[in-house]
Amino acid sequence: MTMKIITDSGADAFVSAMDGVAHTSVPLTIRAGALSWLDNGEIDLPKFVDALKKTKERSSTACPSVQDWMDAFVGGDEIFVLTITSALSGTYNSAVQAAKIYQESHPQVKIHVFDTRSAGPQIRLLAEEIAQLINKGFKFEQIVETMKYKMRQTDLLFILENLDNLANNGRINPAMAKIAHALKLNIYGTASDEGKLEMLGKTRGSKKIFAKMVKLMEESGYEGGKVLIDYVGTPDKAEKMQNAILAAYPDAEISITECGGLCSYYAEAGGLLIGYEKK
């Protein structure tokens, strides 16, 4: 019996196993004119960011095809799929369709597709949770049930210095896009319940932002649990975030990861995504 966890590349999880459970990452694609990047964990990120900055072509992203998902299912008997928010991407729909078609020819294979209504580190927290439940001996259906409330016990905060790619691709509401363009401000916010970017505030990029984030985490139920921080280009900023959390919760388990292509494209240089467990 092979159990598998499959995420799309919006999870920033380019590893072949999580806690000993097999993991596959299904790539999205980023395009700019004739250039295209498959987000498979092997993108040369500084080059990629530079090429995007230099191009005059319109850039965009594309979700995995139904076939891409079906290829990833091969060999699995019980498969857990976690996708980036369906409110902003077709990835979830593509995975659901793939599962339906795949199960017609593999009726004994179990597949559950979770719409995480989030991105990056929160997806990874949920995937790691599934791996732990598998290791504890939970059955497929029990895991699906348990994850329903685990999804409410994780959250996401972001700090973004630039929202151009989100705005130009219609992924944020026009009012937020306008604010982002008009002012040279850092925007911070969260993933809303429906899985969209929800702006909570804006700041002139001061040191205070990190303490502010810890306060927001606490207000939403953070009590010193696991935190995953994903950054675009500025590991020092991720470390400052980590230190601010540790100042309040010295025992917090925090790890820092570089964003893959998809999250680097949308969160942009200086962007920070913070996924955390809460009560």
Q: Kindly list the residues in this chain that would bind ligand X90 in the complex (CB under 6 A).
A: 28, 61-63, 84-85, 88-91, 118-120, 156, 158, 171, 191, 195-197, 263, 266-267, 273
Taking the complex as a whole, the smallest distance from the CB of residue 10 to ligand X90 amounts, in Å, to 6
How many C-beta atoms lie closer than 10 Å to residue 36's C-beta? 12
Closest CA to 276 of 207, 202, 216, 200: 216
**Residue placing its CB nearer to ligand X90 in the complex, 24 or 116:** 116
| Contact (CB, 8 A) for 64 and 8 | yes
**Residue placing its CB nearer to ligand X90 in the complex, 8 or 277:** 8
Taking the complex as a whole, the smallest distance from the CB of residue 273 to ligand X90 amounts, in Å, to 6
| Contact (CB, 8 A) for 9 and 25 | yes
**Residue placing its CB nearer to ligand X90 in the complex, 225 or 271:** 271
**Residue with tokens 């999880």, as numbered in its chain:** 13
**Residue placing its CB nearer to ligand X90 in the complex, 90 or 224:** 90
**Residue placing its CB nearer to ligand X90 in the complex, 81 or 143:** 81
| Contact (CB, 8 A) for 276 and 222 | yes
Taking the complex as a whole, the smallest distance from the CB of residue 125 to ligand X90 amounts, in Å, to 14
| Contact (CB, 8 A) for 229 and 254 | yes
What token pair was written down for 244?
Answer: 């601010």
Taking the complex as a whole, the smallest distance from the CB of residue 124 to ligand X90 amounts, in Å, to 13
What secondary structure, in 3-state letters, does 174-236 show? HHHHHHHHHCCCEEEEEECCCCCEEEEEEECCCCHHHHHHHHHHHHCCCCCCCEEEEECCCHH
**Residue placing its CB nearer to ligand X90 in the complex, 185 or 246:** 185
Taking the complex as a whole, the smallest distance from the CB of residue 20 to ligand X90 amounts, in Å, to 28
Taking the complex as a whole, the smallest distance from the CB of residue 206 to ligand X90 amounts, in Å, to 21
